Amino acid sequence: MYGNDFTAPDGLRPAPDAGGDEPASFLAVLADGGRIEPRDEMPEAYRRSLVRQIAQHAHSEIIGMQPEGNWIARAPSLRRKGILMAKVQDEAGHGLYLYAAAETLGVDRADLLDQLHDGRQKYSSIFNYPTLTWADMGAIGWLVDGAAIVNQVPLCRCSFGPYARAMVRVCKEESFHQRQGFEILHTLSHGTPAQRAMAQDAVDRYWWPSLMMFGPSDTGPDAATGHTAQSMAWGIKRFSNDELRQRFIDMTVPQAEALGLTLPDPELRWNDERGHYDHGPIDFTELFDVIKGNGPCNQERMAHRVGAHEDGAWVREAAEAYAAKRAPEAVA
């Protein structure tokens, strides 16, 4: 995603990050379109909001390793296996840059991981869907990474310097992943009838969850909900969820045509007047249900992550003990 920041409407929303108390230097940088750097003055609420968003983004990268990791062992050719391993490795790398960006705000990666593991912090709801066939590797690359790019390109101009710079690198790699996903689906949709059916099924399952990645509607009557208004005022967010979602749909429909696959929305059609594609209603109750923990794989994703963390505790403790033995002078 994952650079979005939303929760279910009931109960899970963090305390509102009220503005006010904004140092003049901070406001001047924002007015100038400049970058806030870690040592600059910033309101506490801005710092807190960024920590939450960057941590959620980092968590999404590392949880996102699981649905694709699910197919490394079964990739259907050695070339595809290598590409998939490298892709999942890139996601671990994105997690690292993002945890490092969050740490510039005075938090610690270990604490952020604890908050992920005990449920205080979230990750993108999209990774709570299962990867049932090989074609899901294509659909995730094409749709999920495609949606992520639309979300993240504006974050390259986000007001917080370390986050913006991390996004520049992440976006380059995501763009590569998106083309890989497209290429997987292109091969399948031009392959055997069974491969073609596998590709269509994956697109049918991932289309609506991909649209939900942009978050609930936040324009028109919903404009006052969520964090959008405050995040836009602070230069963290540049466009509304709805604008970004529309951009993604407009970009994706012609690509689906090029693939020869259909998108599962009978109301999807070009609107000359708006200059955009119209689409059918999005069932946000499903999104909120998944965010609340009732998605198809929420428990499995967390159990996998917490299991890896706990199984590795003895290794991390040993590394620390070894380092401490080797550096007595540095400690003294």
Partner 1 sequence: MTTPRITPRTTSAHVDYVLGLADDALVSAQRMGWWISRAPQLEEDLALANIGLDLLGQARSLLSHAGRLEGEGRDEDDLAYWRDERDFRNVKLVERPQDDFGVAMARLLVLSTWQSELYAALQRSSDPVLAAVAAKASKEVAYHHDHARQWVLRLGDGTDESHARMQAALDAEWPWVAELFDQSHLDPALVAEGVAVAPESLREPVLRRLGDVVREATLEVPEVAPRVPGGRAGLHTEHLGRLLAEMQHLTRSHPGATW
Contact call for residue 315 and partner 1 (CB under 8 A): yes
Of the residues 73, 224, 331, 332, which one makes contact with partner 1 according to CB under 8 A: 73
Site pattern 171..200 for partner 1 (x: CB under 8 A): ----------------x---xx-xx-----
Among 52, 59, 80, 186, binds partner 1 (CB under 8 A): 80
Report the distance separating Cα 318 and Cα 330, nearest Å: 18
C-alpha triplet 38, 104, 314: angle, nearest 5°: 170
Q: 3-class secondary structure for 33-70?
A: CCCECCCCCCCHHHHHHHHHHHHHHHHHHHHCHHHHHC
Site size for partner 1 (CB under 8 A): 47
**What is the token pair recorded at 15?**
């305390």
Scan for tokens 């970004």, then name that residue: 244
Tell whether residue 161 is a contact of partner 1 (CB under 8 A): no
| Cβ 8 to partner 1 shortest distance, Å | 26
According to CB under 8 A, which one of 42, 50, 62, 211 is a site residue for partner 1? 62
Kindly give, in sequence order, each residue whose CB lies less than 8 Å from that of residue 9, ignoring residues fewer than 6 positions away.
216, 225, 288
- Cβ proximity to partner 1: between 314 and 332 the closer is 314
Q: Residue 37 interacts with partner 1 (CB under 8 A)? A: no
Nearest-angstrom CA–CA distance, 312 and 273: 57
Out of 8, 29, 88, 143, the residue judged to bind partner 1 by CB under 8 A: 88
Q: Is 264 in the site for partner 1 (CB under 8 A)?
A: no
Taking CA 30 as the corner, what is the angle to CA 26 and CA 33, rounded to the nearest 5 degrees?
A: 140
CB of 152 to partner 1, least distance (A): 20
- C-beta closer to partner 1: residue 296 or 312: 312
Q: How far apart are CA 288 and CA 252, in angstroms?
A: 24
Residue located via tokens 């590797």: 137
* Contact stretch for partner 1 (CB under 8 A) within 34-42, 115-123, 285-293, 306-314: 306-314
Residue carrying the six token digits 């540049």: 238
Work out which of 26, 46, 99, 142 binds partner 1, going by CB under 8 A.
99
Centroid of chain to Cα 130: 16
Stretch of residues binding partner 1 (CB under 8 A), selected from 17-25, 47-55, 84-92, 147-155: 84-92
Q: In the numeric block, which tokens belong to residue 229?
A: 């208004």
Both tokens assigned to 102? 């969050």
Query: Rounded distance, CA 50 to CA 85, Å?
Result: 30
Which residue in 27, 28, 86, 233 binds partner 1 (CB under 8 A)? 86
Q: Which stretch binds partner 1 (CB under 8 A): 31-39, 67-75, 159-167, 171-179?
A: 67-75
- Compute the CA torsion angle 53, 55, 56, 61 (nearest 10 deg): 130
Of the pair 45, 63, the CB lying nearest partner 1 is at 63
- Residue 232 engages partner 1 in binding (rule: CB under 8 A): no
* Shortest spacing between CB 297 and partner 1, in angstroms: 13
Is the preceding peptide bond at 277 cis, omega within 30 degrees of 0?
no
With CB under 8 A as the contact rule, the residue among 69, 130, 161, 293 that binds partner 1 is: 69
Give the footprint of partner 1 on this chain (CB under 8 A): 62, 65-66, 69, 72-82, 85-86, 88-89, 92-93, 95-96, 99, 134, 187, 191-192, 194-195, 304, 307-308, 311-323, 325
